[in-house]
Amino acid sequence: MSISLDTTVSSLMTNRRRVGALKSLGVLTVLDAITYYPFRVTDPVPMLPLRSISVGSAAAFAGVVRELRVRPLAARRGYRLEALIDDTEFALEHSARPSSANLVFFSYKKHYVDWLSSRLAQGSRLVVQGESSFFNDRLQFTHPETLVIGKDVASQEEGLARVSRPRPVYHANSRISSEHIHESIVMMLQALAGSGEAETASSSPVPGASASGEEERADVSRVSANDLSRAIPDIVPEDIRVSNGAMHRAEAIVAMHEPADTKEFAHAITSLRYEEAFISQTALLRSREGVRATPGYPCPVDETHRLPADFIASLPFDLTGGQRDVVDAIQEDMAKPYPMQRLLQGEVGSGKTVVCVAAMLQAVDAGNQAVLVAPTQVLAEQHYQTISEMVRKLSAAKSAESGDEAKHDIPVVLLTGGMRLAQRRKVLALAASGEPCMVIATHAAFSTTFQAPNLALVVIDEQHRFGVEQREALRRKNEVAPHLLIMTATPIPRTAALTWFGDLDISELRELPGGRKPIRTIVVQEADGGTMSRMFIHIRQRVDAGERAYIVCPRIDESSDAEEDPEGGNLMSPDESEEGSAVLPLHSVEEIERRLQALPQLEGIRIATLSGRDDDETKQRVMHDFATGESPVLVATTVIEVGVDVPQASCIVVFDADRFGLSQLHQLRGRVGRGGTRSWAFFISRAEADSIAAQRLAIIEHSSDGTEIAQADLELRGAGDVLGDAQSGGRSSLKLLRVVKDADVVVHAREQASELLSKDPELSGETVLAGAVLDFIRGNESFLATT
């Protein structure tokens, strides 16, 4: 049969059990199989005479079959094949005394036993590799790998070199072992190479199950990279591949699964890692240029379009230098006839909202519409209140100048899923009319009922809370693509930004507005009763001084068994944190609120609770009472993580902090200190002193640099947990590229991809690369920020 990369595993293998096991690993096609890479290789197997082999260890040796016996199994169906082998010649070569061992095989398939008997016939010279055991006073190898000299290999030296080479180790599961994964992949490589092994892959007894429940193993030779080159052509252009000292792609794939030595395996990883970087960066750069060929909404800023400038002038404070630079860059982008694509990173409290409002007003001033999408109801409502007040003051100032109040009215409306039907219909009607307006919305903006025919700007707040598909839903609502501004307070290291948002222009706000004081961060061991008591005394003192305190818990109530952040964050799973806290239940809002009510330090203080499960009316009431001081202590889930702004809040306590990621703790810490007062963050931990979790907390305790913290979070947790799988390519074709450690690889690949595209924008001279880029984009919608 004809074999290609798209051939299904099920059509090549008759063993349904193994096909199902491979499917559980995501291996459905030949391409899936050959790119299911091992994560390491074993050390080379030592070549030892039989007398030097320790029981229970793996070794390779050569010998001659002296006796062969096949016996039916008495207690069950099947056969036992036993070959007596001695290593006289091999032992003498190693200056050792000769010895003998048994090679034992079990199978319920008679044809397999007959085939094996013909291979291991008396007098056959073999090379053997396996793990030794001891049975009936003799060394024994059960189902070892065997190569027949003169048939499978030309010489003893060749055979020993093959069986002693390092073996790949794969991520396996209870349904299939690493060894059997390896065998399956090698068989598919042989079939793909057209080396005459296609029949073996489809009809051999090798994939069958033996009577003992063990898989029988074929003796396979190393696949030729030359035979594979037609089926697996190079993707990276030849001159670029050579300049990087990379292997041919087929050669690298063979070396991944059948490495001659550890150096070859490392070289293969380097080659394929660069290939992934080059394909991804080429895709991102082409996507960027593709967007520039898409018509957008030009929104000029000139003498007749001064609304953004008037807005900035109406503010009771001066913009920071960073804010002015970003506003200027956005104004320049939005004036162009193609869509802006910009990522705005800004530390908590750096003033992203002001920049966002200036951009939205630029769209409205051009006669268009703008929408700001927030990830939570609480944040959407807060944005609505803040922006409405800013725009009201601007309108009042403009009306005072002209004397015409109606002329300067700028509609700012709120759209959430929990609104009353009448209010919702009114907002939807305004948007559908195409009239210039500013819409502050939650996920409701992604629904089909929301139509804005003149939508010129989409602002996404806290991008890691939204999937790419949701963002694209807004972009696809109209034929003309809106400008896109993505904002995040989660600092993203440069390499990560290049990897995930390489098709976006990136701006940063590092300078904090005046009046912000550093937040003192203290890690508290929950078992330290004295420190815990002093912490609550301190909170009481701050509350008595008119300030507020957040108490954050990872769970809503005690009845839930789920050890996960109910607001969609990414808690460390038990096997990622230290053993002590992994077995302890996470604290809940319900439990901590009850404990706080009983504390003498907080006697007489009204304590409120808040979670994502509360309805809209409750959320509004709770936040109002907290802001006014009627309930100065708020016990909440991470619903307060993003954007909640109560200037009087000066203390935050996070329970189970050892189970949160650093970036999320940094976000939570940013909820306090927004009013210019001295502030404190207390991270409560049950981690052991020398644990990895304790090391994480030590980083954030001594650093307030968001970029440094994000870099550490990427190194300690991985990209998917920090930014969300929608941004990290958690299910993408990036299998080897490591964002933190491969920074130089990504930057170098981007430079070479940019140079190639400047000469050949359509990749017309690189058809294989063009196909790989297209496949990458199609298969990695959750990887690209936009497509």
Instruction: Give the mean pLDDT of 490-512.
Output: 72
Please report the beta strands in 553-615, taking only residues with DSSP state E, as ranges in sequence order.
607-610
511 by Cβ neighbours in 10 Å (0-12 / 13-18 / 19+) ranks as: middle
> Which of the given ranges, 72-86, 88-102, 680-694, has the highest pLDDT on average?
88-102
Angle subtended by helix axes 377-402 and 352-365, to nearest 10? 60
Predicted confidence at residue 216, as pLDDT, reads 43
146: left (phi over 0), alpha (psi -120 to 50) or beta: beta
CB 685 within 8 A of CB 521: no
Q: What are the phi and psi torsion angles at 694 (to 5°)?
A: -65, -35
Predicted confidence at residue 447, as pLDDT, reads 85
> Which of the given ranges, 73-77, 223-227, 447-451, has the highest pLDDT on average?
447-451
Q: Is the pLDDT of residue 147 over 90?
A: yes
Helices (H), 489-552: 494-500, 529-544
Instruction: Give the mean pLDDT of 119-148.
Output: 93
Q: Is the pLDDT of residue 203 over 60?
A: no
Please say whether the dihedral angle defined by the alpha carbons of residues 500, 502, 504 and 509, taken in this order, is positive or negative: positive
| CA-angle at 736, arms to 735 and 739, nearest 5° | 105
Q: Which residues pair with 633 in a beta bridge?
A: 549, 607
Q: Which domains does the chain have, with CATH numbers?
A: 50-164 (2.40.50.140), 307-334+351-488 (3.40.50.300), 519-703 (3.40.50.300)
Structure tokens, 559: 């009845």
Distance CA 438, CA 412 (A): 5
CB 697 within 8 A of CB 657: yes
Q: Determine which helix (DSSP H) or strand (DSSP E) holds 596, and give its type and residue range.
A: helix 589-597
Instruction: Give the mean pLDDT of 410-423.
Output: 90
Q: Is the pLDDT of residue 388 over 90?
A: yes
For the ranges 157-166, 194-203, 508-517, which has the lowest average pLDDT?
194-203
For the ranges 179-183, 288-292, 694-698, 716-720, which has the lowest average pLDDT?
716-720
Distance CA 217, CA 227 (A): 23
> Which of the given ranges, 470-484, 497-511, 665-679, has the highest pLDDT on average?
665-679
Q: What is the pLDDT of residues 6-61, one digit of tens each?
A: 999 999 888 899 999 999 999 999 999 999 999 999 989 999 999 999 999 999 99
Distance CA 85, CA 530 (A): 72
For the ranges 19-23, 100-104, 502-506, which has the lowest average pLDDT?
502-506
Q: Is the pLDDT of residue 725 over 90?
A: no
Q: What share of the chain has pLDDT > 70, as a percent?
A: 83
Quickly state the pLDDT bin for 377 (edges 50, 70, 90). Answer: confident
CB 128 within 8 A of CB 60: yes
Predicted confidence at residue 284, as pLDDT, reads 85
For the ranges 84-98, 373-387, 462-476, which has the lowest average pLDDT?
462-476
10 by Cβ neighbours in 10 Å (0-12 / 13-18 / 19+) ranks as: middle
Q: Is the pLDDT of residue 549 over 60?
A: yes
Q: What is the pLDDT of residues 568-622, one digit of tens each?
A: 445 665 444 444 444 578 999 999 999 999 999 999 999 999 987 888 788 889 9
Query: What average pLDDT is seen over the chain?
Result: 84
Structure tokens, 431: 């948007």
More confident residue, 489 or 355: 355
Q: Which amino acid is at 117?
A: S
User: In b/e form, how buried is each residue of 82-98, taking b as 16+ CB within 10 angstroms?
Assistant: ebbbbbbebbeeeeeee
Instruction: Give the mean pLDDT of 718-736.
Output: 54
Nearest to 213 by CA among 144, 143, 280, 269: 143
Predicted confidence at residue 567, as pLDDT, reads 45
User: In b/e form, how buried is each residue of 198-227, taking b as 16+ CB within 10 angstroms?
Assistant: bebbbebbbbbebebeebbbbebebbebeb
Biggest alpha carbon–alpha carbon distance for the chain:
111
Predicted confidence at residue 529, as pLDDT, reads 93
Q: Which amino acid is at 477?
A: K
Predicted confidence at residue 763, as pLDDT, reads 93
Quickly state the pLDDT bin for 629 (edges 50, 70, 90). Answer: very high
Predicted confidence at residue 202, as pLDDT, reads 34
Instruction: Give the mean pLDDT of 270-278.
Output: 95
Q: How far is CA 658 from CA 197, 563, 577, 700, in A?
A: 52, 13, 7, 11
Beta pairing, strands 412-415 & 125-135: unpaired
Task: Please spell the DSSP secondary structure of 92-109, one letter per residue.
Answer: HHTT----EEEEEEEES-
Predicted confidence at residue 582, as pLDDT, reads 45
Quickly state the pLDDT bin for 97 (edges 50, 70, 90). Answer: very high
Q: What share of the chain has pLDDT > 90, as a percent?
A: 52
CB 571 within 8 A of CB 554: yes
Q: Determine which helix (DSSP H) or strand (DSSP E) holds 428, and give its type and residue range.
A: helix 421-433
Predicted confidence at residue 365, as pLDDT, reads 94
Instruction: Give the mean pLDDT of 245-269.
Output: 94
Q: Is the pLDDT of residue 209 over 60?
A: no
Nearest to 159 by CA among 170, 148, 169: 148
Predicted confidence at residue 289, as pLDDT, reads 80
Predicted confidence at residue 252, as pLDDT, reads 96
Q: Is the pLDDT of residue 286 over 90?
A: no
pTM over 0.75: no
Q: Is the pLDDT of residue 211 over 60?
A: no
